[in-house]
Amino acid sequence: MTDLRVKTGRPATDGCVLSVTPESAGWTYVGFAVHKLGAGEAFEKPATELEACLVILSGKASVTVSGQTYPVFGERENVFSGPPAAMYIPMGHAYSVRAETSLEIAVCTAPGGGDHEPRIIPPGSIRAEVRGQGSNTRYVQDILPESDPAHSLLVVEVITPGGNWSSYPPHKHDSDALPEESALEETYYHRLHPSQGFAFQRVYTDDRSIDQTIAVEDGDCVMVPEGYHPVGAPFGYDLYYLNVMAGAKRKWVFRNDPVHDWMLNK
Report the alpha-carbon distance of residue 82 to residue 157 in Å, rounded.
12
* Span 82-96, average pLDDT: 97
What residue ranges define each of the domains in the chain, with the CATH number in brackets?
5-265 (2.60.120.10)
Calpha distance 179→254 (Å, rounded) = 10
Q: pLDDT averaged over the chain? A: 96
pLDDT per residue as tens digits for the range 165-224: 999 999 999 999 999 999 999 999 999 999 999 999 999 999 999 999 999 999 999 999
Q: What is the pLDDT of residue 75?
A: 87
Q: How confident is the model at residue 266 (pLDDT cuts 50, 70, 90)?
A: low
Q: What does the buried/exposed string (b/e) look like for 223-241 if buried means 16 or more CB atoms within 10 Å of the residue's CB? A: bbbbbbbbbbbeeebbbbb
Mean pLDDT for 224-248 is 98
Q: According to the model, what pLDDT value does residue 190 have?
A: 98
Determine the average pLDDT of the residues in 7-31.
Answer: 97
Closest to 158 measured CA to CA, from 260, 55, 17: 55
Q: In what order do the strands lie in the sheet with 31-37?
A: 16-20, 31-37, 103-111, 50-58, 86-89, 119-121
Question: Above pLDDT 70, what percent of the chain?
Answer: 99
pLDDT above 70 for 126 = yes
Determine if the pTM surpasses 0.95: yes
**pLDDT(1) > 60:** no
